[in-house]
Amino acid sequence: ADVAYLRSVLPSTTEDAFFDYLATLDASEVTVSAMPEGSVVFARVPFLQVKGPLLVVQLLETTLLCLVNYASLVATNAARFRLLAGPDMKLMEIGLRRAQGPDGALSASKYSYIGGFDYTSNILAGKLYGIPVCGTIAHSFIMSFTSLEEVRPRELSPLAGGEPVDLPGLAERWLQRVCELLRTPPEKANQGELAAFVSYAATFPRDFQGLLDTYCVRRSGLPNFCAVALALHQLGYRAIGVRLDSGDLAQQSKEIRRVLRACGAHFQVPWFETIPIAVSNDISEQSLEEFSREGSEINVIGVGTNLVTCPLQPSLGCVYKLVEVNGSPCLKLTEDEEKMTIPGTKTIYRLYDAAGHPFMDLMALEEEPSPSVGQELAVRVLGRLGETSKVVPTTVEPLHRTYFRDGQVCEPLPSLPEVRSHAQASLNLLSPAHRRLHQPQPYPVAVSERLHGLLTELRQASQ
């Protein structure tokens, strides 16, 4: 069927023998080697190498680039958020409604997790990939209630057992006490919001959380949440968190923490002081920097649009280039050195310093011997090819593994948690100078003297 379709769209002068040949294509002659999933990759370093019949590997170009470009872009974007948030902040991917279609949304959930996010709100991604799922109640849920009369069910049994208790009535009594402590009029607390919180708590008493800014955080959302959470506490349950979705998130988080601490101390409920505070609302890298600068009380951050759509860099720009044909190295020559290809079949090494940080990636011809630990090595750094540099690695790591040969996967493929763990470990190995997001120290990529000699030879032959 594929060949028949190609016959219908290619010029009528295309030879029949070409279509006959297409029908015989066999991927068993293809070999694919690559860096392990989750590896840190630097510009100009080939992270995937394909060998095989020219037509077959040419047909793979678009597919491979489609598979790695968006995936790597989202994982990189997620890693930047993780670096800014720090290791203790919980990050939740919530980009499903803004993603580029269902496939883009699932990819974004998967590769955000690899990049360092803890949860996704995309339930299908949780089902398909085993990513931990997490979410909160919606404004529309809260707005659908108008009074406590609408709450069903109304009764909740204590966690330790016993007679069911009228939860709306208990929450109303607690609301009076909370408003007295906070010196805010109880009548300012929205009754529909209180009803929504009570309804949610009655259904999910072990997982109660509050979205505080549907109406007014200070006068309504926070008192209503505290009232329901304290009612649950009286019955033996613990609320699990609150969320903010508008306004000055950092400042509000500090005000909310102050109120939670006051309630915890006044009503002798110690765990109340540590209720997690989650935030959302078009969170960006700049938002995270502001949270850090202002000293917020935020524990969980939900990131959507600025994570899955990657507005700071909408495409990654990975390219697929021919570097050798029939054993002869080939070179794309251009006046722009950054777009000039590095010829020949290569082996890629990562060189480490005594502190355990990678300090250089080295490209060498496949037939060259591996660099030796502790021995001085002469290299040419890209961007400074006219001068020789000397380096002494304390560790040498070959970066490529062969994953596909003779039509079969020949290297065990890691699970998603293993890829995520490898990605975070790889990022943590980078020196702080290379890892920082603002004005990072450029990471050097070099070629061996032999590879530089081949590059020079081909350039001269093309002039």
Read off the pLDDT of residues 387-417 as tens digits, 9 standing for 90 and up: 999 999 999 999 999 999 999 999 999 999 9
Q: Residue 235 has which token pair? A: 């019955």
CB 260 within 8 A of CB 294: no
Secondary structure of residue 102 in the 3-state scheme: helix
Question: Nearest-CA neighbor of 343 among 361, 364, 372?
Answer: 364
pLDDT confidence of residue 339: 73
Average the pLDDT over 268-275 and give the result.
98
Among residues 271, 156, 170, 176, the alpha carbon closest in space to that of 223 is found at 176
The structure tokens 């989202």 sit at 74
Taking residues 90-116, what's their average pLDDT? 96
Residue 185 preceded by cis peptide, ω within 30: no
What does the pLDDT read at residue 463? 73
pLDDT tens-digit readout, 311-369: 999 999 899 999 999 999 999 877 676 777 899 999 999 999 999 999 999 999 999 99
Q: Judge contact between 25 and 46, C-beta under 8 A.
A: no
Q: Residue 109's pLDDT band (boundaries 50, 70, 90)?
A: very high
Phi and psi based region of residue 211 (left: phi greater than 0; alpha: psi -120 to 50; beta: remaining): beta
pLDDT (mean) for 148-160: 97
- The whole-angstrom separation of Cα 266 and Cα 270 is 10
User: For residue 262, what are the contacts with CB-CB under 8 A and spacing of at least 6?
Assistant: 181, 182
Determine the angle formed by the axes of helices 249-266 and 285-294, rounding to 10 degrees. 50
Q: Which DSSP string corresponds to 139-164?
A: HHHHHT---GGG-SS-EE--TT--S-
DSSP state of 21: H
Residues linked to residue 302 through DSSP beta bridges, in sequence order: 92
Q: Work out the mean pLDDT of the chain and round it to a whole number.
A: 96
Domains of the chain: 77-309 (3.20.20.70)
pLDDT at 317: 87
The beta strand positions in 280-399, using DSSP E, are 300-303, 324-325, 328-329, 346-352, 358-365, 377-381, 389-391, 395-398
Instruction: Give the count of alpha carbons within 13 A of 446, CB side only.
Output: 24
Q: Contact at 8 Å (CB) between 256 and 222?
A: yes
Query: Could you give the percent of the chain with pLDDT greater than 90?
Result: 94
User: Phi/psi of residue 436, each to 5°?
Assistant: -65, 150
SS3 130: coil
Which residue has tokens 């409920």? 269
Exposed e or buried b per residue across 165-204, where buried means at least 16 C-beta atoms within 10 angstroms of its C-beta? eebbebbbebbebbbebbebebeebbbbbbbbbbbbbbee
Q: Is residue 181 classed as helix, strand or coil in its secondary structure?
A: helix
CA 454/CA 450 separation, integer angstroms: 6
Mean pLDDT, rounded, for 265-287 = 97
- What average pLDDT score do residues 114-143 get? 97
Specify burial of residue 70 (Cβ count, 10 A radius: 0-12, 13-18, 19+): buried
Which of 28, 50, 25 has the alpha carbon at shortest distance from 407?
Answer: 28
Q: Is 81 in a helix, a strand, or coil? A: helix
**Rounded-to-integer distance, Cα 320 and Cα 394, Å:** 32
User: Half-sphere exposure (CA, 13 Å, Cβ side) for 161?
Assistant: 0
Radius of gyration of the chain, Cα coordinates, nearest whole angstrom: 29
**Residue 41 banded pLDDT, cuts 50, 70, 90:** very high
Residue type, 162: G
CB-CB contact of 116 with 424 (8 Å): yes
- pLDDT of amino acid 27: 85
What's residue 333's pLDDT? Answer: 78
Element (H, E) at 101: helix 101-115
pLDDT at position 1: 92
- Rounded to two decimals, what is the model's pTM? 0.94
At 118 the pLDDT is 98
Q: CB 346: neighbour CB atoms within 10 A?
A: 23
**Lookup: tokens for 50:** 């394909």
End-to-end CA distance of the chain: 46
